Amino acid sequence: MSEACPLCGAVSTEGKTCEEIYHEFLALEFTDPDYGRVHFLTVACYMIQHEGYSDESYVWVESALRKYLQEGWPISMIREDAARGPGRDKGVRRPADAPHLPKIAWSMTIADVAAQMHDAESYCRLIEQWGHAALKEMGPLVVNNP
Ligand SMILES: [Zn+2]
């Protein structure tokens, strides 16, 4: 019997934590370029759903996801944009003392990808689907700082 993830609400069918699944996914992506081509989305979605980003970085990643998924920006341009983004002078990660974010009933989590993927093609398709869901549902996490 697995417990739901306190951050994203996922329940892994294999009793793994989201973090364990995430590390398995990253290992796949680093060793096989067929998996690695969705790396940006994997990291973004995981961080978005686990209070991973600073407020500034939530603003940045929302626009980056929109550019990548909806406007067709190539990943090289997203990386250049990231180099100029909030990660440039401050960390992208959420500080430990930052306020908690609202809980969102995500329609898709990393556990859904893990349960349904069976090869590189299905993996990339599911990660893209996860990216679209995260972009659509992340609104309450994006605080527009002055
Ligand atoms: Zn989780």
Confidence of residue 146 (pLDDT cuts 50, 70, 90): very low
Strand partners, 53: 93
Confidence of residue 86 (pLDDT cuts 50, 70, 90): confident
Centre of ligand 1 from the C-alpha of residue 46, in Å: 8
pLDDT at residue 145, as a whole number = 54
First-last CA distance in the chain: 45
Instruction: Tell me the C-alpha to C-alpha distance, in Å, between residue 114 and each of 16, 23, 45, 79, 146.
Output: 10, 12, 14, 26, 38
Centre of ligand 1 from the C-alpha of residue 6, in Å: 7
Q: Model-level pTM?
A: 0.93
Centre of ligand 1 from the C-alpha of residue 58, in Å: 17
* Amino acid letter for position 86: P
DSSP secondary structure, 81-130, as one string? HHHHSTTTTS-SBPPTTSPPPPP---S--HHHHHHH--SHHHHHHHHHHH
Centre of ligand 1 from the C-alpha of residue 101, in Å: 14
Centre of ligand 1 from the C-alpha of residue 7, in Å: 5
